[in-house]
Each structure stands twice: as C-alpha cells, then as structure tokens.
Amino acid sequence: MKIQLNPTKENKKYKILVVDDEKKVLIVARKIFRSAGYDVEVCLSPEEAVEIVANRGPVAVLFADNRMPGMRGTELLEQVKRVSPATVRVLTTAYYDQQLIEDIVNKGEAFRFVKKPIDFNKVLAVIRECVEQYEVNLKNQVLHESIKNLTQYNEALKGQSDDLSQKISKLKNKVVFVTVVATLIIGIALAINFYGEFQRQEILKETSVTLGDWIVYDNNTALDSANRLMWMTQDFRNLERNYPASWEEARDWVQLMNAKRFGGYRDWRMPTIEEYKLTFDPDRIRLAFDQNKDYPVGYPKAFQDGGGYGFWAVDEVGGNSAKYFFFAGGYDKTASKSYNSPTMSVRLVRTVK
C-alpha cells in the first residue's frame, strides 16, 4: 500500500498520541505519522496516555483503540476531555456499533471514528481535519478566557456600585448633598457601564470576520446585516451536545440562554419560519451533527457545522403542532409539538436596531 505523505515544518508543532494494545499498530502509526512531519508518541496503556496528555502535552490529536485491557477507549476519551478539552479525540475500532457511535458523537467525546484495520492513507487526511479543529479549539479557549475576564471585571464594577450605594444611604438627612452625590454616582455608573459595553463591542469588532452580508463575531454570534438579525452561530445540538426532545423544550431553551446572557445578550428569541428562510444557503456546503456528506445542509457560511437538520420555529399550528424548517431541503414542515427526533434542533435570534 502506498502512503501519500505531506511533511511540512508546520506539522512538527502538533503532537499526535496513539494508544493501542497492538504493538504492530503503534509501530506503523509512529513511522507513518513521523514521516508526515508530526511529533508522535505511542503507548500501550490508557493510563499512560492520560499521564502523557496531562504532563507531557500539549497533545493536538489523540487516537485511541476502543477495546484495550483495563480501560475502554470511550472511557479514555472522557478522561482526556476533562484533562485537555482542546485535544481532538479520534476512536479506532474494529467493531462498528452505530448506536455506540451516535451516543459518543452526541456527547462530544469523539471528533472522528476510524475503522480497523486502519487505512493510513485515509488517516492522514483525518489528521489534517483534526489539526484544523485543534486550532479552532485553541481559539475558542482564548475567547472563553476573555469572556471570563470581562465577566469578573463586570462583577467588580457591580461591587463598587454597591459600596457607593451604601455610602449614599448614610447621607439621607443631607438632602441637597445626597441629590448631588446621587446624580454624580448615577452618571459614573452609567459611564462605567457604557465604557464596559463599548469596550466589549470594540473587542468584538476587532475580531469580527465579514462574509458577504454576514458579520461573524468571536462570541459565537453572527449578524445578518441585510435583515438586521443577529443569530447564534451554534445551535442547541452544538451547545447542549443533545437534541430538544419536543417543541416545548426548544421554547424553554430561550429562557436558559437569556439567563446565561449568551454572547452578552438577554433578548434572544425563537425564530419564525420566514426568518429561518432568510438564512438558507441553497449551495448547501455545511454538514449536520452526523457529518453525513450525502445530506449537506443549507446553513449560511457564518454558522458552524455539527447542528441539526430540522429547526423548531415559534410558529404554532393549532394547539398541539408547530412548524420547523428543514435545512437539508430548504422548506418548512409541520409536526406534533411532542415530536422527538435526534435530527431536530433550534437556533435563537435577536433583532438588532
């Protein structure tokens, strides 16, 4: 078998870890991956793999066999996800169980599956996809850390505001003085809030990407500038690693996202069918959660892969049914509100003035 190699200096900064209880698999993997220019480590033990990821990382891509003594590959993937969330995890298995694979993908434990015996021509292509995803994961970590810092800064400002309010309450008998101080404090608080929001918006603008009428921001939102609608670039399936079991669960998700201030906003709502239609891309170059290339979906380029096929809308039909938009076909359908399918999802929207 002829292996197509593409060694580059860039590859050397990516560490690939291969875990398998078959030594011959490790020997071949180490030879092929190193020939492609990657930094490669191999081991027979899942426990040793966890130690390598935790103490000898960073590891960009982990290849793990599913059936190994002491620990299954699926358990190893879960542990590595906790230790190093950015590491892209690939499960190799000779026993293809569709239900097992669907469960693991829905939980976000595995990015890809490779069937044994391994075709290393295909695996090299998988590694390139994994490395691209690893870079995305690293950027998301930086973004999440920035959001965390902004949140802490906002909490500190709230604490300062509380301290100022206590000082005002002690001056109740000095009406004139209190009025002046209160006006001043309100102005300061407004200025602080305005500056905090202005700073956040400036950060978003600096890191934004323009795709035609779409402006994509680093807080997982995208603005359809032609229609003044801001959308989540991730849907229910992306964020919850699951699917809404009913229309009511999709509707209630709106309150949860607003409570969390997703993207820094709390005015998200469930879209209408007509609003979904505005986002449909007839070229259909995106893939849904199962990565099935035979059924591409018409998400716009601004949205992320890995979502659902059907998206619940706010449009109700009678008391027991509602509409959803089918992105694999570009049309709307009506179903019972209790319709429970792993293909379903919901994506929230907000109107921008």
Residues 120, 25, single domain; the answer is yes
Residue 296, preceding bond cis, omega within 30 degrees? no
Looking at residue 317, what is its pLDDT?
96
Encode pLDDT of 166-217 as tens digits.
Answer: 766 665 556 666 666 666 666 665 445 445 545 655 667 777 899 999 999 9
Q: Which stretches of the chain drop beneath a pLDDT of 50?
A: 1-5, 190-191, 193-194, 197
Examine the domain organization and report whether 216 and 341 are in the same domain: yes
Residues 186 and 70 in one domain: no
276 part of a folded domain = yes
Give the DSSP H/E element, type plus range, for residue 176: helix 175-206
CATH code of the domain containing 346: 3.10.100
293 and 320 part of one domain: yes
Is the same domain home to 13 and 126?
Answer: yes
171 lies in the same domain as 234: no
* Residue 202 is assigned to a structural domain of this protein: yes
Question: Does 185 fall in a domain?
Answer: yes
Structural domains of the chain, count: 3
CATH code of the domain covering residue 21: 3.40.50.2300
Rounded to 5 degrees, what are φ and ψ at 279?
A: -95, -10
Statement to judge: residues 258 and 196 lie in one domain:
no
Q: Count each helix (H run) and each strand (E run) in the chain, helices first.
A: 9, 14
In a domain, 4, yes or no: no
Task: Give the strand order in the sheet containing 344-345.
Answer: 331-336, 321-326, 310-317, 344-345
- pTM for the model: 0.47
Task: Return the pLDDT at 290.
Answer: 94
Residue 327 placed within a domain: yes
pLDDT score recorded for residue 83: 87
Do the domain assignments include residue 280? yes
| Shared-domain flag, residues 47 and 143 | no
Same domain, 198 and 221: no
Which residues, in sequence order, are CB contacts of 119 under 8 Å at separation 6+?
1
pLDDT computed for residue 189 by the predictor: 52
Q: What is residue 169's predicted lDDT score, i.e. its pLDDT? A: 64
Residues 258 and 307 in one domain: yes
Residues spanned by the domain of 190: 138-207
Q: Are residues 347 and 219 in the same domain?
A: yes
